[in-house]
Amino acid sequence: MASPRATLADVAQTAGVDMSTASRVLRGDVSQRVREETRARILKVAEDLAYRPNSLARGLRTARTDTLGIVVPQLDNPVFAAAIRGAEQAAAELGYSLLISHREPGTTATTIAKLSQTNRVDGLLVASLDDDEVLRSDLAAAHVPFVLMNRILPGAPLSVVLDSRAAARRGVEHLVGLGHRRVAHLSGRAQGFNAAQRLEGYREGLEAAGIAFDPVLVATAGYTAEGGARAMAELLPQRPTAVLAATLVSAAGAMSVLHAAGWRIPQDISVAGLHDAPVARLLYPSLTTVMMPTEEMGRVAASLLVRSLAGEHPDPVPPLPPGDLIPRASTGPAPG
Amino acid sequence: MASPRATLADVAQTAGVDMSTASRVLRGDVSQRVREETRARILKVAEDLAYRPNSLARGLRTARTDTLGIVVPQLDNPVFAAAIRGAEQAAAELGYSLLISHREPGTTATTIAKLSQTNRVDGLLVASLDDDEVLRSDLAAAHVPFVLMNRILPGAPLSVVLDSRAAARRGVEHLVGLGHRRVAHLSGRAQGFNAAQRLEGYREGLEAAGIAFDPVLVATAGYTAEGGARAMAELLPQRPTAVLAATLVSAAGAMSVLHAAGWRIPQDISVAGLHDAPVARLLYPSLTTVMMPTEEMGRVAASLLVRSLAGEHPDPVPPLPPGDLIPRASTGPAPG
DNA sequence: TTGAAAGCGATACCAC
DNA sequence: GTGGTATCGCTTTCAA
C-alpha cells in the first residue's frame, strides 16, 4: 500500500555518503561547507527517492515542530475564518505551518491541552469567547507560548485586538452624518470586552455630534440573529431612525423584525453593522458595514507568536484600526 | 518558561519501576498483567508529575499518529464547516484526533503533501472543488489512505456524497405542490458532479408532475451571489413563477435581483434553495430550503477512513439522502 | 509480574 | 569537507 518511504539513511547510502552529510545538505545547513559535487549528488538521490523528512523524528530530535496551533470557537464565522487565513499566510512566510483546531464549547481545556501538551505545536494562537476565569485556567495548562486574538485577558501579555471602539464610532459618524439623531445600538454580550468597546465608541460618536447618550436606545443583542431580533423589537417603541448593530448577524436579525413591523429600510430606519463579510451583500437591503482588519489580526498574531518563539519579548500591539465604512443600501438620510 | 515536561523515564524512575512497566500501565495495555499496587503507584506518579506522552516519540515508534487530516477548500462555508464538525465527532469517538487544513486554491497539492508525506496524519478526508485531473494527481502523491467528501472521482474507491438529485427533486416537488408550473433552476458549476445531479433531480421532479423540461428555464449560477444574480436576471424574461437554486448563496443573489426588479417574493415568484444553514433565516424573505446531511457526511467519511486504516475494505456508501424541506417565507402558492 | 535493550528517523556535536 | 555516534521519548520483543 503506502510505498515504503525513503529515509535519510536510504538517501545517504544510495549517495554513498554518511547520514550526517546528507542531513546537512538536505536541511540547507550553510554553517558547514560541503563540496558542490557531493551536494548535487545527494540532492539528486533525494529527489529520485522522493525523500521527505519524517517530521516526527525531526521534531523529537529538535524539540520543535515549526508548527503553530490556532484555536477558534467556531469555523463558520467570517471573523475567525479570516483570522485563520491571515495567520496561515503569515505563518507560511515565517516558515511555519498552521494547525487549525476548532473547539466546541465545553471541549475548551481539552483542545488547548491536546495541542500544546503533546508536542504537536510550538505555540498557540487562541480565540475564545469564554469567560476570563475559564480561559485563564485553560491557558495555564498550555505549556507553550500563546497569543490571544480578538480579546484581552488581564495578565496575558500578548494579544491582538481590533479597535472596536473606533469602528463603532465610525459607524455612528456615518449615521449622524446622514442626519440621524435617534441612533440606537444593538450591543454584544453584556460582559464582553469588544461589546464594551463598541458601546463606548457609540457613545463617543454621539457625543462628538452633540447628541446626548440615552440608555433607552441601547439593547443587548448578543451575537445571534434571534438576539438581534429581540433587541430590535425592544427598541421599536423608542422610534429610532437609525441603528448600529455590533455584528452582521444581529443586524440581520434586526432587519427581519423591521421588515415584519413594516418599517422600510432605509426610508424609515437606517441599519449599519460592524465587520464586513460577504453575507452583508446577501442581506436585503444590502448592509452598510465598517470593515474590520480581521485577516490582519491573524497575521499580526502569528508574527507576534513567532517572534516570541524566537526569544524576543515583543511590545504589546495597539488595537488594529478599523477599515473603511462601506455604504450600502441599508443606510440613507434621516426621515423627515 | 515551559516547565521541563516530565518524560516516561521520569515517571518510571520516581515510581521505582522500569520504563517498560510504566509504559504498559500508562498505555492501558491489558495484554500483560501488572500488579495492582504497582499500577496504582505508577498512575499516581504520572498524575503528580503531570506526565503527558510525547506524541512525536510515540508516533515515531509506532508509525501511527492516531490523527486524521481533513482538507477543505474553504472554512467559512457552512457545508464544509458542518462536515468538519461531523468528522471531528466521529473521529473522537473512534479514538482519533482531527487536524483541519484549509487549502487555498493553488496550494492544492502542497497541503495534501504536507500532511500526508510528513507523517503527521494516518489518513485524509478530502473535500475539493478542483477538476478531476488536478485532484487525481494531488492525491496520487498522498501516501496515506483517503476518503473523498462531497464528490466522486473515477477510480477513487472511497467517497461520501449527498444525494443532491433527491434533494433537488424534493425542492421541485414542494414548488410544484404549491401549483407552480414554470419552475426555473439556477444550476451549479457547469462541470460539477453535484451540479449535474441537481439538474437531474430538477428534471425528475418536473417530469413526475407531468411538466416538460424546458432548457430555457435553466441558467448556470455557479456558487456565488453574483452568479446567482446574473443567472436570475437572465431568466426573468422567461417569467418563471418559482425558482430552485442549487445553493443558498446563489439563491441570495437571485433574490437581490428579484427585489431590484420589483418582483415580490413569494407573491410573484417563489424561491427555494438546497442545503440548510443559519444564513437561510437571515435572508429576506427567509429562504425555504432542503436540509442536507452535511454533518453526517463528515461522520461517515471519518468512520470509513478509520475502518480502512484498520485494514478493512469498506463497501462504497450510497449517497446520503436529503433531510426535510424547511418551508419558510420565500415560497408560496403560484400566482393567478 | 517486571526488567533490559533494541530501535523508530532524524539532528548535532565532535573527530579526523 | 565528511564520517561516527549519542540522543530525543517512547514502544516492544525477549529474558528473567
pLDDT at A3: 56
pLDDT at B107: 66
CA of A25 and C1' of C9: distance in angstroms? Answer: 16
CA of B8 and C1' of D4: distance in angstroms? Answer: 28
| Whole-number Å distance between alpha carbons of A51 and A26 | 10
pLDDT at A108: 62
Q: Does the beta-carbon distance from B55 to A85 stay under 8 Å?
A: no
User: What average pLDDT does the segment B240-252 reach?
Assistant: 97
- Domains within chain B, CATH numbers bracketed: 8-53 (1.10.260.40), 66-162+294-309 (3.40.50.2300), 164-292 (3.40.50.2300)
Q: Which residue has the cell 484526533?
A: B97
Which of A77, A100, A249 is opposite residue B100, by nearest beta carbon?
A: A100
Q: Measured between beta carbons, which residues in chain A are less than 8 angstroms from residue B249?
A: 282
CA of B55 and C1' of C14: distance in angstroms? Answer: 30
Position B114 pLDDT exceeds 90: no
Q: Does the beta-carbon distance from A102 to B88 stay under 8 Å?
A: yes
DSSP strand pairing (A288-290 vs A270-274): parallel
Contact B65, B119 (CB under 8 A): yes
SS3 A314: coil
Condensed to tens digits (0 to 9), the pLDDT of residues B178-190 reads 999 999 999 998 8
User: What average pLDDT does the segment B205-231 reach?
Assistant: 97
User: What average pLDDT does the segment B40-55 reach?
Assistant: 96
User: What average pLDDT does the segment B231-250 reach?
Assistant: 98
Q: B123 falls in which pLDDT band (50, 70, 90)?
A: very high
Condensed to tens digits (0 to 9), the pLDDT of residues B300-309 reads 999 999 999 9
Q: Measured between beta carbons, which residues in chain A are less than 8 angstroms from residue B85?
A: 102, 104
How near does any CA of chain A get to the CA of B104, in Å?
Answer: 9
Q: Measured between beta carbons, which residues in chain A are less than 8 angstroms from residue B57?
A: 56, 60
SS3 B265: coil
> DSSP label at B215?
G
Max Cα separation, chain B?
A: 88
Q: Does the beta-carbon distance from A100 to B281 stay under 8 Å?
A: no
Q: Mean pLDDT over all residues of chain B?
A: 94
Contact B204, B171 (CB under 8 A): no
CA of A32 and C1' of D6: distance in angstroms? Answer: 20
pLDDT at A103: 76
Whether this prediction's pTM lies above 0.75 is answered by yes
Q: Does the beta-carbon distance from A282 to B84 stay under 8 Å?
A: no
Condensed to tens digits (0 to 9), the pLDDT of residues A259-311 reads 999 999 999 999 999 999 999 999 999 999 999 999 999 999 999 999 999 99
pLDDT at A264: 97
Q: Measured between beta carbons, which residues in chain B are less than 8 angstroms from residue A143?
A: 2-3, 5
Neighbour count for residue A190 (Cβ, 10 Å): 10
pLDDT at A1: 40
Position B75 pLDDT exceeds 50: yes
pLDDT at B54: 96
Cβ-Cβ pairs closer than 8 A, A with B, add up to: 125
What Å distances lie between residue A88 and A85, A99, A235, B263, CA to CA? 5, 9, 41, 43
**DSSP H or E stretch at residue A125:** strand A123-127
pLDDT at B129: 87
Helix boundaries (H) for A49-105: 55-62, 78-93
Q: Does the beta-carbon distance from B102 to A118 stay under 8 Å?
A: no
Q: Identify, with chain letter, the residue nearest to nucleotide D1 (CA–C1').
A: A34
Which residues of chain A are modeled with pLDDT < 70?
A: 1-3, 105-108
pLDDT at B106: 64
Condensed to tens digits (0 to 9), the pLDDT of residues A100-132 reads 988 776 666 778 878 888 889 999 999 998 889
Q: B66 falls in which pLDDT band (50, 70, 90)?
A: very high
Q: Which of B51, B96, B100 should one mutate to test binding to chain A, selecting the residue with the greatest count of A CBs within 10 A?
A: B100
Q: Does the beta-carbon distance from B143 to A5 stay under 8 Å?
A: yes
Bridge partners of residue B288, in order along the sequence: B272
Position B104 pLDDT exceeds 80: no
Q: Measured between beta carbons, which residues in chain A are less than 8 angstroms from residue B60?
A: 54, 56-57, 60
Condensed to tens digits (0 to 9), the pLDDT of residues A8-19 reads 999 999 999 999
Protein contacts of strand C with Cβ less than 7 Å away: A 5, 7-9, 19-20, 23, 26-27, 29, 51-54, 57-58, 60-62; B 16-21, 24, 32-35, 37-39, 57, 60-61, 63
Q: B262 falls in which pLDDT band (50, 70, 90)?
A: very high
> DSSP label at B237?
G
* E strand segments, chain B: 67-72, 97-102, 123-127, 146-149, 159-160, 183-187, 218-220, 242-245, 270-274, 288-290, 325-326
Among chain B residues, CA nearest to A56: B56
